[in-house]
Amino acid sequence: MSRLIVQKSGPLRGRVQVPGDKSIGHRAILFGSLARGRCHVRGLSHGEDNLSTVACMRAMGVNVELAGDRAIIDGVGLRGLSMPSGVLDCGNSGTTMRLLAGLLSAQRFGTRLVGDASLTRRPMGRVVGPLRARGAHIGGSDKDGRPAPTLEKCYPPLSVAPLVEGEQLTGIEYDMPVASAQVKTCLILSGLYASGPTALREPVLSRDHTERMLISLGVPLRTAGSMVYLDPEGLDGAKWDRGWDPFEWEVPGDVSSAAFPIAAALLVEGSEITIEGVGTNPTRTGLLDMLRLIGAPVEQETRDEAAGGEPRADLFVKHVRPRGGLAAGELVVRMIDEVPALCAIAAVSRGTIEIRDAEELRVKESDRIATMAGVLRAFGVSCEELADGMRIEGGAKLRGATVTSQGDHRIAMSAAVLGLAAEGTTVVEDADCIATSFPTFVPLLKGLGADVRLEES
Three-state DSSP class for residue 340: helix
Torsional class of 439: left (φ above 0), alpha (ψ -120 to 50), beta (otherwise): alpha
Torsional class of 382: left (φ above 0), alpha (ψ -120 to 50), beta (otherwise): beta
> Which is catalytic among the residues 21, 231, 254, 337?
337
CB of 289 to ligand S3P, least distance (A): 17
CA gap 418, 347 in Å, rounded: 8
Three-state DSSP class for residue 248: strand
Cβ closer to ligand S3P: 113 or 401? 113
CA gap 265, 272 in Å, rounded: 7
CA gap 204, 81 in Å, rounded: 33
CA gap 32, 50 in Å, rounded: 13
- Beta carbons of 179 and 202 less than 8 angstroms apart: yes
Cβ closer to ligand S3P: 26 or 319? 26
CA gap 100, 119 in Å, rounded: 14
CB of 219 to ligand S3P, least distance (A): 17
Q: Which residues bind ligand S3P (CB under 6 A)?
A: 23, 26, 95, 180-182, 185, 206-207, 336-337, 360
At 337, which amino acid appears?
D
Distance of CA 140 to the CA centre of its chain: 22
- Report the chain's C-alpha Rg in angstroms: 22
Cβ closer to ligand S3P: 190 or 352? 190
CA gap 274, 316 in Å, rounded: 4
CB of 288 to ligand S3P, least distance (A): 17
Cβ closer to ligand S3P: 49 or 89? 49
* CA angle at 409 for the pair 277 and 324, rounded to the nearest 5°: 75
Is 337 a catalytic site residue?
Answer: yes
Cβ closer to ligand S3P: 66 or 204? 204
Cβ atoms within 10 A of the Cβ of 237, count? 6
CA gap 423, 9 in Å, rounded: 9
CB of 252 to ligand S3P, least distance (A): 14
Q: Which helix (H) or strand (E) holds 63?
A: strand 63-67
CB of 435 to ligand S3P, least distance (A): 15
Three-state DSSP class for residue 112: strand
CA gap 39, 70 in Å, rounded: 11
CB of 26 to ligand S3P, least distance (A): 6
Cβ closer to ligand S3P: 26 or 391? 26
CB of 405 to ligand S3P, least distance (A): 16
CB of 178 to ligand S3P, least distance (A): 7
Backbone angles phi, psi at 271, to 5 degrees: -75, 150
Cβ closer to ligand S3P: 25 or 394? 25
- CB proximity list for 337: less than 8 A, separation 6 or greater: 256, 259, 364, 410
Cβ closer to ligand S3P: 205 or 298? 205
Could you give the residue numbers annotated as active site? 337
